[in-house]
């Protein structure tokens, strides 16, 4: 279901790609149990970074690895800003749909860049590669976007489904109708395999809270 190119391995030695597939899920717009977990996570993050500032976040966990990666494209890591807004500004984790919230909760807790996709809209396999700069795809907001040369990206047989710099695509996005889902993680060099595994298990726990009868499958981390 998931593979990487030799070009990706050569360009980014020490990087990892992680995947979690969950079948028979539900995606309600609101789930009381997940809402309670969100509030608890917000409180834990605020307590964890109490009395600190954004500079403390810049050295936290995997953030330096992403900062180094994004810097080569003159970009900043957006998860850092999202974490700062929760920890220091009292912002709440957004309420969208349960599967997206399940992913985002783990993302701000663990600071690992993650994309979610509707498995039934994917044309497998999903391949992790390095952009040449000529590839393009349609973003979530419906805008066509070309990839930056050298950026990590994922594609199925129909085309690009995400990139680090520009995020996930429109075609395979999670919707209210999603019943089978794939979560995919980009982990640049400097992030341990165990960290990616733990992150995917956090997502799995959140999804199973919403959909206890769901079947978690194919938790996999592929090394560079």
Q: What is the DSSP letter of 130?
A: E
Q: Is the pLDDT of residue 66 over 90?
A: yes
Instruction: Report the distance separating Cα 64 and Cα 112, nearest Å.
Output: 11
In this predicted structure, what is the pLDDT of residue 224?
83
For residue 117, give the H/E element and its range: strand 113-118
Do residues 173 and 118 lie in contact, with contact meaning Cβ atoms separated by under 8 Å? Answer: yes
Q: What is the DSSP letter of 170?
A: S
Q: Is the pLDDT of residue 92 over 90?
A: yes
Q: To the nearest whole percent, how much of the chain has pLDDT over 90? A: 96
Q: Is 118 helix (H, G, I), strand (E, B) or coil?
A: strand
pTM: 0.96
Q: To the nearest whole percent, how much of the chain has pLDDT over 70? A: 100
In this predicted structure, what is the pLDDT of residue 90?
94
When pLDDT is averaged across residues 145-172 and rounded to a whole number, the result is 98
In this predicted structure, what is the pLDDT of residue 36?
97
Q: Is 100 helix (H, G, I), strand (E, B) or coil?
A: helix
Instruction: Report the distance separating Cα 183 and Cα 163, nearest Å.
Output: 14
Dihedral, CA atoms, 14, 15, 17, 18, nearest 10 degrees? 70
CATH class entry, domain 2-223? alpha beta
Give the model's confidence band at 183: pLDDT under 50 very low, under 70 low, under 90 confident, else very high: very high
For residue 153, whether the previous peptide bond is cis, meaning omega lies within 30 degrees of 0, is no
Beta bridge partners of 117: 182
In this predicted structure, what is the pLDDT of residue 161?
98
Which of 113, 14, 2, 128 lies closest to 67 in space, CA to CA? 113
Instruction: Report the distance separating Cα 120 and Cα 99, nearest Å.
Output: 15
């Amino acid at each position: 279901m998931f593979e990487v190119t030799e070009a990706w391995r050569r360009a980014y030695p020490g990087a990892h790609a992680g995947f979690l597939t969950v079948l028979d899920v539900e995606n309600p717009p609101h789930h009381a149990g997940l809402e309670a977990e969100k509030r608890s996570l917000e409180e834990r993050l605020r307590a964890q970074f109490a009395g600190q500032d954004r500079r403390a976040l810049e050295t936290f966990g995997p953030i330096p690895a992403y900062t180094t990666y994004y810097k080569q494209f003159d970009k900043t890591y957006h998860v850092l800003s999202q974490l700062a807004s929760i920890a220091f500004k009292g912002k709440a984790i957004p309420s969208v749909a349960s599967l997206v919230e399940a992913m985002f909760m783990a993302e701000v807790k663990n600071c690992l860049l993650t994309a979610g996709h509707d498995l039934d809209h994917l044309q497998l396999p999903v391949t992790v590669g390095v952009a040449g700069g000529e590839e393009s795809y349609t973003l979530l907001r419906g805008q066509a976007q070309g990839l930056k040369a050298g950026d990590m990206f994922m594609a199925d047989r129909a085309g690009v489904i995400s990139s680090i710099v520009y995020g996930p695509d429109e075609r395979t996005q999670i919707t209210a109708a999603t019943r089978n889902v794939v979560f995919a993680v980009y982990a640049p060099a400097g992030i341990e395999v165990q960290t990616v595994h733990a992150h995917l298990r956090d997502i799995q726990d959140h999804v199973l809270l919403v959909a206890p009868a769901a079947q978690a499958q194919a938790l996999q981390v592929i090394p560079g």
